[in-house]
Chain A
Amino acid sequence: MSSLKNISIALVGNPNSGKSTLFNALTGLSQKTGNYAGVTVDKHYGSYTTNLYKATVTDLPGTYSLFPKSIDEKVACQALISQDEKIDVAVIVTDASNLKRHLLLATQIIDLKIPCVLVLNMIDEAEKNHISIYHQDLSKLLDVSVISVNSRTKQGIDELKAQILEAKISHTIFYQFEKLQSSFPNINNYFEVISAQLADTITDKKAIEDFELTDNLQRFSKINYIIAKCVKQPEQLKKSISQTLDAFFTHKVFGFVFFLFILAIIFQFIFYIAEYPMTWIEEGFVWMMNSVSNALPAGKLNDLIVNGILAGISGIAVFIPQIALLFFFIAILEDTGYMARASFILDKIMRRFGLNGKSVIPMISSVACAVPSIMSTRTIMNQKDRLITILVTPLVSCSARLPVYTLLISMMFVGKSTKGFFNYQGLVLMGMYLLGFMSALLAALVFKYVLKAKEKSYFIMELPVYRKPQWQTVMMLVFDKVKVFLFDAGKIILAISIVLWFLTSHGSTQFEEVQQKEILALNQETNDSIKQALQVDFNAQKLETSYAGMLGQKIEPIIKPLGFDWKIGIALITSFAAREVFVGTMATIYSVGDTDNTTTLREKLMSEKNYQTQQPVYSWAVCWSLMLFYVFAMQCMSTLATTYRETKHWKWPFIQFAFMSGLAYFSSLLVYNILS
């Protein structure tokens, strides 16, 4: 076998040009996701092989022109002119039904003088709308090969692959050389203007804006001529299905009702349905941990593998069902064109809080878990709006807080359950969720004024035609998101889990003494039930003397003003792994063997007296203080790891941690002092 020629291809086109579907049709399952250096834009690439050549295909982010207005667009433009990773062929993807606007970018790319071919994508829909395009004329005027493609049925894909090999540089020029020369005397061609503009080497911004505007206007007058020559379309488009659907989806009553209905479905799936696979994953890992623990000789290594690494991986894998389900729905909403309508009807409300119509789904999904929610903010195009959504979303009470709320509420209202129609427990629980939502919105409002935007904000957005979802595109996105989470955020989560494992399973000399006593005592005892009771007791002592325990005692002076003692301090530290760990840690500290039985734990907690004042530790004031702490505090390493992964900067998870913890501390302080 002789080695085939290697061709590097970039797919470039406007958003909604069906680029991803074409990318899937070309590369199938060979896709990979990487990063563009320094930005939060994901790089999608894949490959295919024909008898004649081997191709590496990059699916560039969608852009409307080579004068980028957002970070995603800038990445696409930079990739086209990059000298380090030179592109051999640019495949310009256009929507055949909407050729005029799509030709703007196409003619700009032609002016770069890189080999290219033009794809008339979604040709089936153009035909359905009685639009005919004369290929030969278009190809002659542009001086590039023109291929009609239906990415869904793969019609035209083979011809495209053949034409890519033949791609050449067009001789047609669309830009005004005289205008260029008079604006920028040192620049000789269009490629250089675009490069200089992207590299920010032109200091006269006004000159660039002026050039962009006049150049684009000139371009469109040429495009109008081309359209008149090559495209035949009916004078008056009949009232399309899209318009009928719009009347429903953006209706002042049904529009919101339908949106709430969609939210309810998503909520059901990620809150209730996801529970089943999550339990299977957890049970699977418990089984695996038991097997490994029994198979390996007892000791430190065994403990590290089972309780450090496997437990950490289990904590990562358990997120898969929620991430997969949320992205399954989001992909469908995006792919069908509904997401743009949801933004359209919600924009006015969300704008007030510095958010965006597209922030609603991440915020609601956060009731299940902040991790998939933060990942789903990718659909928000404006960088500042997206960042604010990421920062405030974890304030919405997630499902991991529920066991903590339940335990605390049950302690606060023992014996005072039902009073008429409402019961206190239910009301307080609802109050906590409302508090979470309200604080997220208010925090967004604050960030709106504090954060500076890198790009100017606008809401000029295409409302794409409604389409049937493309299952392959949907599944690819789901698969991609799960993979990105497992390997990017997962690494950080695993590292922190191992640190937490170390802190709870190691300690100073005192810890080792306890450990030795434990071994002795357990070896001497033969009665199984006494043995179990002893084990529970030793577990409590070990946790107290471990590094985590020492840390909990160290922070007591800091948390004392909130009404917390060092035992709560330990639980605050361990629940950094996941908030619900709080309940398990309390059970260990208070030597409650059966962690499933919260009644025993509750009774134990309620009879607890402060070792200095002899007053009950879990007073009304402490319970409220602790509950508010859990509403606000950032106690979730998985969320912080995901924020890092989605912002590509440690600054943001740090700010998130600091503002949420600060908020938690001061509200607990306030409530404790008012109530006690």
Chain B
Amino acid sequence: MQTLDTLKIGQKAIIKSFTDSFLSLKLVEMGCLPGETVKLTNIAPLGDPLAIEIASYQLSLRKQEASTVVIDKTEEE
């Protein structure tokens, strides 16, 4: 099972599902929907949190939170 926190900068993926029900509510209302494409755009200098591009805007979240998002890596770049 691959999760969002394992992406490298510039890598894209498709959201599959969530493993934390409370966080999934928040993530969905922020536009992180299953089937949506995400791209990891930035990692904070100290390695945490992460910044992703989703639905044409930038969202930041902690690594631990990203690890609750199950993804499918797309072969690109």
Contact of A462 among B22, B23, B59 (CB under 8 A): B59
Q: Are B26's CB and A220's CB within 8 A?
A: no
Residue of A nearest to B50 (CB): A344
Q: Which of A229-268 contact B (CB under 8 A)?
A: 233, 237, 242-243, 246, 250-252, 255-256
> Measured between alpha carbons, how far is A577 from B44 in the docked complex, in Å?
43
Against B, the Cβ 8 Å flags (1 = close, 0 = not) of A80-121 are 000000000000000001101100100000000000000000
Residue of B nearest to A247 (CB): B42
A98-B56, A104-B29, A213-B28 known; A459 vs B46 contact (CB < 8 Å):
no
CB of A212 closer than 8 Å to a CB of B: yes
CB of A67 closer than 8 Å to a CB of B: yes
Contact of A212 among B25, B31, B65 (CB under 8 A): B25
Chain B residues lying within 8 Å of A220, measured Cβ to Cβ, are 28, 31, 33
> Measured between alpha carbons, how far is A407 from B49 in the docked complex, in Å?
45
Chain B residues lying within 8 Å of A64, measured Cβ to Cβ, are 29-30
Q: Are B62's CB and A459's CB within 8 A?
A: yes
Q: Are B48's CB and A347's CB within 8 A?
A: yes
Chain B residues lying within 8 Å of A255, measured Cβ to Cβ, are 45
Q: Are B45's CB and A250's CB within 8 A?
A: yes
Q: Which of B31-50 contact A (CB under 8 A)?
A: 31, 33-34, 41-42, 44-49
Q: Are A209's CB and B31's CB within 8 A?
A: no
A98-B56, A459-B62, A463-B60 known; A348 vs B48 contact (CB < 8 Å):
yes
Contact of A98 among B23, B49, B55 (CB under 8 A): B55
A67-B25, A100-B31, A213-B28 known; A347 vs B44 contact (CB < 8 Å):
yes
> Measured between alpha carbons, how far is A255 from B42 in the docked complex, in Å?
13
Q: Are A463's CB and B51's CB within 8 A?
A: yes
Chain B residues lying within 8 Å of A347, measured Cβ to Cβ, are 44, 48-49, 62
A98-B55, A101-B55 known; A213 vs B42 contact (CB < 8 Å):
no
Q: Are A458's CB and B56's CB within 8 A?
A: no
> Measured between alpha carbons, how far is A345 from B42 in the docked complex, in Å?
11
Chain B residues lying within 8 Å of A97, measured Cβ to Cβ, are 56
CB of A520 closer than 8 Å to a CB of B: no
Q: Are A237's CB and B60's CB within 8 A?
A: no
Question: Which has the most chain A C-beta neighbours within 10 Å: B22, B34, B55?
Answer: B55
Contact of A256 among B30, B41, B45, B62 (CB under 8 A): B45
A213-B28, A463-B60 known; A349 vs B46 contact (CB < 8 Å):
yes
Q: Are A348's CB and B55's CB within 8 A?
A: no
Contact of A209 among B21, B46, B47 (CB under 8 A): B21
Q: Are A460's CB and B61's CB within 8 A?
A: yes
Chain B residues lying within 8 Å of A252, measured Cβ to Cβ, are 45
Chain B residues lying within 8 Å of A340, measured Cβ to Cβ, are 60
Q: How far is the CB of B69 from chain A (nearest CB, A)?
A: 11
Chain A residues lying within 8 Å of B41, measured Cβ to Cβ, are 243, 246
A: contact size bracket: 35 or more
Q: How far is the CB of B44 from chain A (nearest CB, A)?
A: 5
Q: Are A209's CB and B25's CB within 8 A?
A: yes
Q: How far is the CB of B19 from chain A (nearest CB, A)?
A: 14
Residue of A nearest to B24 (CB): A213
CB of A216 closer than 8 Å to a CB of B: yes
Chain B residues lying within 8 Å of A100, measured Cβ to Cβ, are 31, 55-56
B: contact size bracket: 20 to 34
Q: Are A461's CB and B60's CB within 8 A?
A: yes
CB of A554 closer than 8 Å to a CB of B: no
Chain B residues lying within 8 Å of A468, measured Cβ to Cβ, are none
CB of A382 closer than 8 Å to a CB of B: no
Residue of A nearest to B48 (CB): A348
Contact of B44 among A209, A216, A345 (CB under 8 A): A345
Chain B residues lying within 8 Å of A213, measured Cβ to Cβ, are 21, 24-25, 28
> Measured between alpha carbons, how far is A252 from B45 in the docked complex, in Å?
5
Residue of A nearest to B21 (CB): A209
Q: Are A344's CB and B62's CB within 8 A?
A: no
Q: How far is the CB of B39 from chain A (nearest CB, A)?
A: 11
CB of A453 closer than 8 Å to a CB of B: no
Chain A residues lying within 8 Å of B45, measured Cβ to Cβ, are 250-252, 255-256, 345
Q: How far is the CB of B63 from chain A (nearest CB, A)?
A: 9
Q: Are B56's CB and A463's CB within 8 A?
A: no
Chain B residues lying within 8 Å of A237, measured Cβ to Cβ, are 56
CB of B58 closer than 8 Å to a CB of A: yes
Residue of A nearest to B47 (CB): A348
Q: How far is the CB of B53 from chain A (nearest CB, A)?
A: 9
Q: Are A460's CB and B48's CB within 8 A?
A: no
Q: Are A460's CB and B26's CB within 8 A?
A: yes
Q: How far is the CB of A350 from chain B (nearest CB, A)?
A: 11
Chain B residues lying within 8 Å of A458, measured Cβ to Cβ, are 23, 26, 61-62, 65
Chain B residues lying within 8 Å of A459, measured Cβ to Cβ, are 49, 60-62, 65
> Measured between alpha carbons, how far is A465 from B57 in the docked complex, in Å?
8
CB of B27 closer than 8 Å to a CB of A: yes
Chain A residues lying within 8 Å of B21, measured Cβ to Cβ, are 209, 213
CB of A456 closer than 8 Å to a CB of B: yes
Residue of A nearest to B62 (CB): A459
Q: How far is the CB of A405 from chain B (nearest CB, A)?
A: 34
Chain B residues lying within 8 Å of A651, measured Cβ to Cβ, are none
Chain B residues lying within 8 Å of A462, measured Cβ to Cβ, are 30, 57-60
Q: A98-B57, A246-B58, A462-B59 are in contact. List 7 more A-B contacts (CB 8 A).
A: A67-B25, A101-B55, A243-B41, A252-B45, A347-B62, A458-B62, A459-B49
5 closest Cβ contacts across the A-B interface?
A: A252-B45, A463-B58, A101-B31, A348-B46, A65-B29
14 contacts between A and B (CB under 8 A): A98-B55, A104-B29, A209-B25, A213-B21, A213-B24, A213-B28, A216-B28, A237-B56, A246-B41, A458-B62, A460-B23, A460-B27, A460-B30, A460-B60
